[in-house]
Each structure stands twice: as structure tokens, then as C-alpha cells.
Structure 1
Amino acid sequence: MIRHLVLFKLNEGVRRDDPRVIAGVEAFEALEQAIPELRSWECAWNISDRPIAYDYAINCSVEDTAALQRYLEHPAHQAGVAQWREFATWVIADYPF
């Protein structure tokens, strides 16, 4: 199994109630039903207010590296990423478990 973690930081001046952000969250929330490769799926706003904290997180798993690639290339994933690219930056980690 492969764990795929993504931490998002909203760009300066962008708020959670921005319509672009709301649409981006909805796009990511829909991925669980849209992408069959996903074995687990969690996404949510961070509740920590520490200065080093990121704003939003995705924590998911897939069977193997081939499934990870299919997930990354899936049109629904690509569409969500395109939305988030407009208002956030992110870091990722993919690791076996």
C-alpha cells in the first residue's frame, strides 16, 4: 500500500470562504467516489492555528505505485488540482506502509 499525503497552504489574502476555495474543496471531496483506485480517503481543514501549520490536508491510500499514477492522472484529480493551483501551494509525501 502507498500513503499519499498532501498539505495545502492558502495563498496570502485567500480565505476559506472564497468561492474558488469552496469549489476546490468540493472537487476534492468528490474524488473518493470518482476514483476507484482509492482504498482510503480523508480530506479536511486543519484545526491548528500554529504559525507553521498548513490549512488543508488530504490523506489517502492506494494499492501500489501503478494505482498512485492512475489516481494522479485521473481527470477528476487533475481538475481539482487545477482549481487549487489558482489559490494555494502544497507539499506532498508518498510512502509505502
Structure 2
Amino acid sequence: MQIQLDFNGFHQKALESVVYDGLLFYPGFYVYVVWDAWFYAKEGANKTTTAIPFIIGGFLGEISAIFSAKVPFPSLTAGLLILVPMIIGMVIFRKQ
């Protein structure tokens, strides 16, 4: 519900209705699920090195969730802070 409100321009309503305890769980879980699927789809990928960009994305997602009340576009900011390191990691480790 909060993401829908935020994407439709009702940023203040979205911030007022967010339950932050649950919000902090999602970025890390999302990043782990993406890394897990990507890791098992790659033959011979190194588990220790390929996780680094995804861990960075997870931490940035958590930080953006913590400071979402102070950011003008919380969903967009969190999404970009999560996706950019993951995409960079996928590009760097694409040949593994």
C-alpha cells in the first residue's frame, strides 16, 4: 500500500502509514533472493566474491529504509540504491 501511495505522488501519506519494523526486513531479503537466484544460475560462480556487490546493495537498501522519512522519493531512492550495486556486480562477474 505504501509503495503504491509513494509512486502515485502521495509521499507524506506513504510515510505516515509505514511500519518501519517490517520495512527494514525487505531490502536485505530482496537482495539475498536476487543473489541466490543469480548465483545458482551461473556455472562455477565464486560464492565469496560474487556476494560483495549484493551485500553492498542490501546495506544501502537498509540505510535508505532507515532514512526514508528524510528523502523526497523514498521508494525510488531505495530501489536505485539497491539495484545499482547489484547490476554492477552482475556485469563484473558475468564471465564467472
Scaled by the length of structure 1, the TM-score of the pair is 0.34
Answer 1 or 2: which has greater strand percent. Answer: 1
Point out the structure with max Rg over C-alpha.
Answer: 2
Answer 1 or 2: which has greater helix percent. Answer: 2
Higher relative contact order (CA 8 A, sep 6+): 1
Scaled by the length of structure 2, the TM-score of the pair is 0.34
